[in-house]
């Protein structure tokens, strides 16, 4: 069997992220057009707390659960940085995609549409209302990089184009060395994030991962490939309470919490995809021994 082109990975820290991760994995197995490696990373100090039903579901869905050491990566600890730690782990595929656990695929998705050589594929952030644009001068100065001339449309803040600022909830990147210093994209991302973290910049927690992302892409010698909004449709915020748009063929939604998922009538779909692959709709109905009896 040949090696897939893409690994898709997410964090399964229990209890919340393990359950969301089960829905995410089932949705990937339902809607991706080809086989991908699925990996769930859990902090080494909490992996013992994962529930047996979740471990059985992940095994049935061919999700490789791997521990990751999060101690000392950031000082003080930075939980949002777990995605960066996960991204830095070794994988066998030429491309990898990180997904927040609160993402659900709801439409057919082609792996080829997510991958672009020399690029990080991702979507603009929903908004940047937490700060004005002047903050970027300090961010780029902290990394000793010039300000870019580029401006982009954010997903929900559309009065004018703004500095490049992307969601760190779903991005696809090439593995392996990316620049002349033999650093990978993730090596560069971690290095720049730590440089920014040493400087007194407002809201660097919790936004350190996102504020460093556009700098890391360019510093690694890559460029950004902006995916259509349909590929990563962000719910909540000012969109809270609105139904999914009927004129868009949405492939994946970023729902933030289970209440929002229910509000857009997608919780039943999530449970249906779980049932399709596992045989039950509810976690409390999972019998791990029975589920894995045929494996």
Q: Could you tell me if residue 189 is inside a domain? A: no
Number of structural domains (the chain) is 1
CA gap 291, 277 in Å, rounded? 10
3-state helix, strand, coil in the chain (%, to 5): 35, 20, 45
Q: Could you tell me if residue 10 is inside a domain? A: yes
CA gap 118, 173 in Å, rounded? 8
Q: Could you tell me if residue 270 is inside a domain? A: yes
Q: Could you tell me if residue 64 is inside a domain? A: yes
144 CB burial (10 A radius; 0-12, 13-18, 19+): exposed
This prediction's pTM: 0.96
Q: Which of 88, 68, 94 is nearest to 209 (CA)?
A: 88
> Residues with Cβ < 8 Å from 117, sequence gap 6 or more?
174
Dihedrals phi, psi of 230, to nearest 5 degrees: -60, -30
Determine contact, residues 123/232, Cβ cutoff 8 Å: yes
Determine contact, residues 23/266, Cβ cutoff 8 Å: no
pLDDT for 295 equals 62
CA 87 to chain centre: 10
Q: Write down the residue that tokens 């059985």 correspond to.
A: 56
Determine contact, residues 39/63, Cβ cutoff 8 Å: yes
Q: Residue 60: in which H helix or E strand, if any?
A: helix 52-60
Which CATH number does the domain housing residue 113 bear? 3.90.550
Q: Could you tell me if residue 194 is inside a domain? A: no
167: left (phi over 0), alpha (psi -120 to 50) or beta: beta
pLDDT for 1 equals 67
The helix-helix angle for 52-60 and 267-278 (nearest 10°) equals: 70
> Residues with Cβ < 8 Å from 2, sequence gap 6 or more?
none
pLDDT string in tens for the chain (295-residue length): 688 999 999 999 999 899 999 999 999 999 999 999 999 999 999 999 999 999 999 999 999 999 999 999 998 899 999 999 999 999 999 999 999 999 999 999 999 999 999 999 999 999 999 999 999 999 999 999 999 999 999 998 888 999 999 999 999 999 999 888 899 999 999 999 999 999 999 899 999 999 999 999 999 999 999 999 999 999 987 777 788 999 999 999 999 999 999 999 999 999 999 999 999 999 999 999 999 886 6
Q: Please, which residues bridge with residue 23 across strands?
A: none
Q: Could you tell me if residue 207 is inside a domain? A: no
Q: Could you tell me if residue 33 is inside a domain? A: yes
Domain span at residue 247?
6-139+169-175+225-290
Q: Could you tell me if residue 212 is inside a domain? A: no
241: left (phi over 0), alpha (psi -120 to 50) or beta: left
The token pair at 214 is 């556009």
């Amino acid at each position: 069997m040949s090696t897939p082109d893409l690994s898709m990975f997410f964090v399964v820290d229990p209890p919340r992220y393990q359950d969301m991760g089960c829905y995410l994995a089932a949705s990937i197995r339902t809607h991706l057009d080809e086989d991908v490696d699925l990996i769930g990373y859990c902090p080494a100090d909490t992996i013992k707390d994962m529930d047996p039903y979740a471990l059985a579901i992940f095994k049935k869905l061919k999700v490789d659960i791997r521990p990751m050491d999060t101690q000392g990566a950031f000082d003080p600890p930075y939980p949002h940085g777990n995605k960066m730690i996960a991204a830095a782990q070794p994988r066998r595929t030429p491309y990898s995609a990180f997904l927040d656990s609160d993402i659900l695929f709801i439409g057919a998705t082609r792996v080829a549409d997510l991958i672009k050589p020399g690029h990080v594929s991702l979507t603009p952030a929903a908004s940047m209302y937490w700060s004005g644009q002047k903050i970027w001068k300090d961010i780029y100065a902290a990394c000793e990089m010039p300000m870019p001339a580029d401006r982009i449309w954010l997903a929900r803040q559309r009065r004018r184009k703004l500095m490049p600022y992307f969601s760190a909830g779903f991005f696809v990147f090439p593995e392996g060395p990316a620049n002349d210093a033999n650093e990978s994209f993730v090596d560069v991302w971690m290095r720049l994030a730590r440089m920014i973290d040493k400087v007194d910049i407002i809201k660097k927690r919790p936004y350190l991962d996102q504020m460093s992302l556009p700098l890391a892409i360019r510093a690694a010698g890559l460029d950004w490939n902006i995916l259509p909004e349909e590929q990563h449709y962000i719910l909540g915020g000012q969109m809270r309470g609105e139904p999914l748009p009927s004129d868009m063929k949405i492939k994946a939604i970023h729902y933030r919490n289970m209440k929002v998922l229910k509000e857009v009538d997608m919780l039943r779909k999530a449970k249906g995809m779980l049932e399709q692959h596992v045989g039950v709709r509810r976690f409390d109905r999972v019998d791990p021994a029975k589920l894995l009896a045929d494996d």
